[in-house]
Structure formats: structure tokens, C-alpha cells
Amino acid sequence: MVIAARREEESKNLVAELQSGGAQIEFIRTDVTVESDIEQAIQFTIEKFGGLHAAFNNAGGGFRSDLDWPDDTTQRLVKTFELNMSGVWLSMKHELKHMLENGGGSIINTSSIAGSRATESEAYTASKFAVEGLTRSAALKYGKAGVRVNTVAPGIIDAGSWKPRFDQDPSLRDAWDDAIPLGRPGNPSEVGEGVAWLCSDMSSYASGATIPVDGGNAFTINRPG
């Protein structure tokens, strides 16, 4: 396995932790908005492990951009799509090139509950809808060549940008506990289990699917501030 990410220190710490448990894993610094970085990461993976059989395109984020914001709204929109949609597009471009030449593979893209329902962050929501559309189109186009393409759609996860918000405002956690049908935010490992299933042969007949990992929250109307 190869971790390709921008956050070098965090990634190296994770690699060391996994290697201590016996995992065969490497790291290469990669910015998914830079096409040459993606090409280098895929070549690195092929050289280290002999091929690319599964890819998880998980880089993403949100730059709050609302229709009623003045000034820098357009720039924020561009940055949001550059990371969330163009980063996935460029990654798939080079992942597919190798997989199509070598008998197929599995690609998993990260969407969000915002990929199938409205939120008040228009740019972020639009970018995640775009990821789901890209996933389904690629699944349709490349399925007969042996490539499966799916999406995992996390809900509120107790990590990343949500964790400091919960730490600073316990009432926000309480509000989400009340809104989410399963009664709590998710854990990163629970998203990881869904991704591992989509990477594996156990999901051999799943393609073009969006797998929600959100505690049932995609189907509720409650959304705390």
C-alpha cells in the first residue's frame, strides 16, 4: 500500500505505526491538484508493489463559498472544485490508464452526505455531486474493461475538521447525537471498513454505487448548525 498525501509529517507517522504492525506500506508526498505529482505517485506504487489494483481517492476539503458572499466567492469556488472534483478527475485519469492496460481494478472516490442532499455550503455540495456523477459515468464507461468505480459517502465523522469543533463546543456534539439516527458521529475506522470492502473481491459485483457511512443521516432532515 502507498499513502500519497500532502501532510508529510502526519503521513509518515501513520506509515511508521502501520509498519510496526507488519503492514507493507510506503509514503510519497503528493498534491492531487498537481498532475505530475499524481503521475509520480502511481509510478512509485507500481515500482514498489508491482502494480496498481485498487485506488482510494480521499483528498478533499471545503472552502466556504456561498452565493451571497461578496469578493472572494469565485476564488473559493475554484479552489473547492480544484481539490474535490479536479483532484479526483486527475487521479482517476492516471489510475485508469494503468488499470485498463493491466486487466482492471477498483477505484473508490470519497463523496459525502452532501453528494446526495442539499447543504448550505453551495460550492462544497456542488463539488460532491460532481464526484458522484463522475464516479457513475466512469463505472458505466469502463466496467466491461474490468474496472469497478464506486463512491463512499461519509457523514459526520469524529475526526478531521469536525473533531476540533466538537472539542470546542460540546453542545454541537450533543445536537448531532440527537440528529443522527444511530445517535453518534462515526469513527474513521468505520469509513475505512467500507473502503476496504469496496477494494476487495467481496464487492466484485458493486460498481457505480454510493455507499453511505453516515449513521443513517443522509435520510434525515435534521441538521444542526
Please identify every residue annotated as catalytic: 124
- What is the number of residues in the chain? 225
Contacts of 145 (CB under 8 A, 6+ apart): 99, 100, 104
Return the closest-CA partner of residue 214 out of 117, 126, 127, 135.
117
Read out DSSP for 7-46?
-HHHHHHHHHHHHHTT---EEEE--TTSHHHHHHHHHHHH
Count the helices and strands in the chain (H runs, E runs): 8, 6
Q: Cα torsion for 17, 21, 22, 23, to the nearest 10°?
A: -50
